Amino acid sequence: MHTTPDNAVKNTPCDSHELTRRRFFSRVSVACAAAIAGLAGVPVVGFLIAPIVRPARPQWRGVGKVDSFRIGQTVQVQFSDPSPLPWSGITAKTAAWLRRVGDDEFIAFSMNCRHLGCPVRWVEGPRLFMCPCHGGAYYEDGSVAAGPPPEPLARYAVRVKDGQVEIQTSPIPLTTFKS
Considering the four listed CATH numbers 3.40.50.11540, 2.102.10.10, 1.10.10.10, 2.40.40.20, the one that applies to the domain covering 60-168 is: 2.102.10.10
**What's the pLDDT score for residue 10?**
54
- Residues 95 and 77: their CA atoms lie apart, in Å, by 5
Average pLDDT, the chain: 80
The tens digit of pLDDT for each residue in 80-119 reads 776 666 666 666 778 889 999 888 889 999 888 888 888 8
H-helix or E-strand containing 130? strand 128-130
5 — pLDDT class (breaks 50, 70, 90): low
50 — pLDDT class (breaks 50, 70, 90): low
For the cut 60, the answer to whether the pLDDT of residue 1 exceeds it is no
Sketch the domain layout of the chain as residue ranges: 16-55, 60-168
For 115, other C-beta atoms within 10 Å of its C-beta total: 20
**What's the pLDDT score for residue 85?**
64
- High-pLDDT (> 90) share of the chain, %: 20
**What's the pLDDT score for residue 107?**
92
27 — pLDDT class (breaks 50, 70, 90): very high
Contact call for residues 136 and 151 (beta carbons, < 8 A): no
